Amino acid sequence: MKRSMIALAGLTIAATAAAIPASAEVPPPPPAVKADITPQKACDDISMSVYFPAYESMLSAYSMRAVNAASDRLTGCAVTVIKADVVSEEAHSDPAFATLSEARAEAVLDAFHARGIRAPDISMDVTPKIDATLPAGTTAPLARRVDIVLTAEPGFGL
């Protein structure tokens, strides 16, 4: 008797649950068309200046962070042209310092090369230049720099 009452109670609960309509909303089915969510990388050209202490050709920690940040922005881009122009107060005062200007440009290019930034077209201008924005005779760090322009396009550089 007990078993039949338990069975009857179970059937009653099952019948009642089937008779009550579902009160929760059913979410709509997913779209049939697949979504194309590919990230679009902006491969913009980068212009930057790398500054040097007087009579030095070694990159500072700040300059290395700037090179690293520029390299990170170019991840997934193909660099096609690298242009390096050296502005040096020492170069215009003594021709023997032309090798210092060349060493500064090489240090910047080597730093980019170490980060995987290479280009088929590299131009380097180490001719003595006087910074027109600074007064004559100024020995400011702004007059000891390598101005670099990296031209990039979408693609994968190797």
Whether the pLDDT of residue 68 is over 90: the answer is yes
Rounded to the nearest integer, the mean pLDDT of the chain is: 76
CA distance 68 to 53: 19
Segment 123-152, tens digit of pLDDT: 887 776 655 555 555 556 567 888 999 998
Residue 62 counted as domain residue: yes
Up-side HSE of residue 133: CA atoms within 13 Å toward CB? 7
Q: What is the CATH number of the domain that holds 123?
A: 3.30.1330.60
147 within domain boundaries: yes
Domain count, the chain: 1
* Domain carrying residue 103: 46-154
Residue 150 lies in a domain: yes
Model pTM? 0.65
Q: Which residue has the higher pLDDT, 138 or 74?
A: 74
Phi-psi domain of 55 (left: phi exceeds 0; alpha: psi -120 through 50; beta: other) = left
